[in-house]
Amino acid sequence: MTDCTPHPRPPSSRKKRKLSKAETDAMILWKTLDVPVGCDPHHIIYAQKLRQRGHSDKLWDLRNRLVVTREEHERHHAGFALISRERLPESVWRFALELDGGDLYGYFTEGLYRNYPLREGGVKC
């Protein structure tokens, strides 16, 4: 008989700090504002990349959010069906430019071109 109990997750190497009241409020707003049932908020510029580049304070910035269906979110992160660039709000381009210090070819701006292909289609939430 096969043991199907899941293996415990290894402890995270990232030290979790306690969020301030303002950060907690921003996170709740980011996760819930205008998010219908069956949809998820998606970090357009991935949270991991923001943390790696020292922008943890920008994790819950609404300019970096796109509400997508849960299936669309899972398929994007699995690499099966990437969210198209046409779906990105104008605000995320300004956000990326701000993070890049005005560099039109900076790390975050280039990431938008790399992670979101140019094509029509996709389900909108």
Q: Which of 1-5, 6-10, 52-56 is the most confident on average?
A: 52-56
Segments in 1-125 forming alpha helices (H): 21-32, 47-52, 70-78, 90-99, 107-115
Lookup result for tokens 């071109």: 113
Per domain, the residue ranges of the chain are: 23-115
- Confidence at residue 11, expressed as pLDDT on a 0 to 100 scale: 61
Average pLDDT value over all residues in the chain: 88
pTM for the model:
0.80
Question: Which whole number is the average pLDDT over 37-58?
Answer: 95
